[in-house]
Homo-oligomer: A and B are copies of this chain.
Amino acid sequence: MQNFIFEIPTKIVFGRGQIGRIGAEAARFGRRILLVYGRNSIKKNGVYDQVISSLQRAGLQIVEFPGVKANPVLACARKGIELAREQRVEVVLGVGGGSVIDTAKTIAAGFYAEHDIWDFFTYKKEVLRALPVLTVLTLSASASEMNQAAVMTREEGMHKFSIRSPHIRPRVSIMDPETLFSLPPVYTAYSAVDAVSHMLEAYFNNEEPESPFQDGLTESFFRVITESTEIILKEPQNYNARANMMWTTTWAFNGLIATGLGRVTLPVHMIEHSLSAIYDIAHGAGLAIVMPGWMSYTRRRNERKLAQLARNVFRINAGDEDAAIQGIVKLKNWFASIGCPTSLQEAGIPESDIDKIAVNAVVLAETWQLPDYTKEVIAEILRQCR
């Protein structure tokens, strides 16, 4: 166990009928609220009306900033910052999933920035302050509702990078599992893949020889995610399965699992970011393609941990080498069984693009200081994903 600091002050208000509390929570931080959201889904499922009426009951002034798209882009956040400044907002409230919340966080950090906000994403500048961020979560996967990260794509060069700062960690997040009832099945599957990927990158990244606390969390959460996903795909309105999935995805990437592991890197996310940046595919779909290929590429190095995962999650009883191989197959088949693509081909990405993707990804590898991931290595991993 390596030294660490753990501090997650986010207040979570979880459960049925809790969205109506957002007004009172937001009022603790300011009167003028920038309401960031996506397109139609929150209007269709009634979340928008609940939020507006709660904010109005609390006597707050609302400045709307709609239209955030999946794989959110920097140009959108820039417009949000402009609006936030013009309207002198005091609080940023994101109502949506990871894309919306990450945009809200970027606006909150950018509000005070006197430089190009992309400098936060390239780690040239540190976030020193930000407007308070609150969220109402309607798609659980990224754990952005309780973590200090935000991911954005800059269209120029198609780079999908991230910020990390305690200043952008949400102060309050409201999580009502019923908001997920109308989520299309494939997004439930993508959520599962994203959460699993967050955990496995820490699991295999382990610099420590023994990390039973962290491994146990990952293995346990992994089982909850697979079981809940299978229930949800059959019964989209199963409250308990939605609730378990929602709360588990939060803990999969809010920081707890990484405590004591030293530096945790995210090579699968790193490579995937190029796929969703260039092809605008869903992040979860991209992860389902890259994860098994990356596992195959790193199989010998991670054999012991792969075997441990295979035994403890997939109940595979075999020697290390066999268990590791079977574990990868099992995971890939599970991704396919819940409706995810598991190869570049299935996502319509031609093999001939591999070098182009690697050129894009290596820029992030350098920013994230992953020197082992050269252009050639990334291309080789992508060939395992054909």
Contact = CB atoms under 8 A, between A and B. Distances in A.
Given A1-B243, A6-B12, A14-B260, A216 B212 contact: no
Nearest to A224: B212
Given A9-B9, A228-B212, A1 B240 contact: yes
B224 A216 contact: yes
A348 to B, nearest CB: 36
Contact of A213 (B10, B18, B247, B259): B247
A12 B256 CA distance: 11
Contacts of A213: 221, 224, 244, 247-248
A82 interface: no
A114 interface: no
B16 A5 contact: no
A219 interface: yes
A215 to B, nearest CB: 9
**Central interface residue in A7, A177, A216, A244, by most chain B CB within 10 Å:** A216
Q: Which 8 A-B pairs have the closest CB atoms?
A: A3-B15, A216-B220, A1-B243, A9-B9, A7-B11, A6-B12, A220-B220, A212-B224
A258 to B, nearest CB: 12
State the number of copies, please: 2
A259 B248 CA distance: 12
Interface in A1-38: 1-18
Nearest to A220: B216
B11 A5 contact: yes
Interface string A239-264: 11001100110000000000110000
Given A4-B12, A14-B259, A217-B220, 6 more contacts: A1-B15, A2-B15, A5-B13, A7-B12, A210-B240, A217-B217
A12 B8 CA distance: 10
Contact of A1 (B18, B177, B212, B216): B177
A223 interface: yes
A227 interface: yes
A307 B5 CA distance: 37
Contacts of A1: 14-15, 177, 239-240, 243-244, 247
Interface string A154-192: 000000000000000000000001000000000000000
A16 B2 CA distance: 8
A124 B243 CA distance: 35
Nearest to A176: B3
Contacts of A219: 220
A216 B208 CA distance: 23
* Residue of A217, A220, A224 with most partner-chain B CB within 10 A: A220
Contact of A216 (B8, B221, B240): B221
11 contacts: A1-B15, A1-B244, A3-B16, A3-B17, A5-B11, A208-B240, A210-B240, A212-B224, A213-B224, A213-B244, A217-B220
A168 to B, nearest CB: 17
Nearest to A18: B3
Contacts of A5: 11-14
Contacts of A7: 9-12
Interface in A349-383: none
A111 to B, nearest CB: 24
Nearest to A245: B213
Contacts of A223: 212, 216
Contacts of A239: 1
